[in-house]
Amino acid sequence: MFDITSSKLLILGIVALLVIGPKDLPALLRTIGKYMGIIKRQAAEFRAQFDEAMRESELQELKKSVESVQQEAEASMREATASVEKQLADARQDVDAAMQDKPATDPIGFSGDVPPAAVADNSAAASTEAMTGLNGASHPAEAATSAPGEAANVLPAESTRPTEKSGA
């Protein structure tokens, strides 16, 4: 700020001593020091207020950036939700179209190449195989007693005999 060297200060002190005099010089220096302290405190307070204003403006900018990121995230979520809903709607339309293409009387989905009697015979054979178990026994109780060292797969006991209705 001011280019004051020690030689200039010495010259200034000699001039002040001659002009003011040795009796009033200490009081003058105390007054100058007091006012310099007041000026420094005012400068520090101004600097603190300025720094606080800068922090507030930075916080406002940060808040704006966070809000913009939040808005972008919400827009992205809305876009993703719309995309998923569109894909689900397309899938529903595909399933509905596929369900409308098949005849309503055929829930299993046979194309008509196999006669219904053959299907009934195949399902009866499959249920008989399931009833016999792994070792070929005709009843689950026989499968359990067939091999002493082997673990037997026992199916729930179902009656293979036809049931008669009472009163008929």
What confidence tier does 68 reach under pLDDT thresholds 50, 70, 90?
Answer: very high
The domain limits of the chain are 14-99
Burial label for 131, CB within 10 Å (0-12, 13-18, 19+), is middle
In angstroms and rounded to an integer, the radius of gyration of the C-alpha atoms of the chain is 51
Give me the chain's average pLDDT, please.
Answer: 76
Give 99-122 pLDDT, tens digit per residue: 888 755 555 655 555 555 555 555
Name the maximum alpha-carbon separation found in the chain.
145
CA atoms within a 13 Å half-sphere pointing along the CA-CB vector of 122: 6
Which DSSP letter does residue 163 get? P
What's the pLDDT at 108?
62
What's the pLDDT at 95?
93
pTM strictly above 0.85:
no
In degrees rounded to 5, what are phi and psi of residue 146? -75, -45
Q: Which of 5-9, 39-43, 114-118 has the highest mean pLDDT?
A: 39-43
**Distance from CA of residue 123 to its chain's centroid?**
49
Give 53-65 pLDDT, tens digit per residue: 999 999 999 999 9
> What's the mean pLDDT in 24-45?
94
Give 131-146 pLDDT, tens digit per residue: 555 445 555 555 445 4
Query: What is the percentage of the chain residues whose pLDDT exceeds 70?
Result: 60
Would you state the structure tokens that stand for residue 12, as one six-digit string? 């200034």
Q: Which residues contact 147 (CB under 8 A, 6 or more apart)?
A: 135
Query: What is the percentage of the chain residues whose pLDDT exceeds 90?
Result: 41
What's the pLDDT at 168?
44
Helices (H), 21-115: 25-101
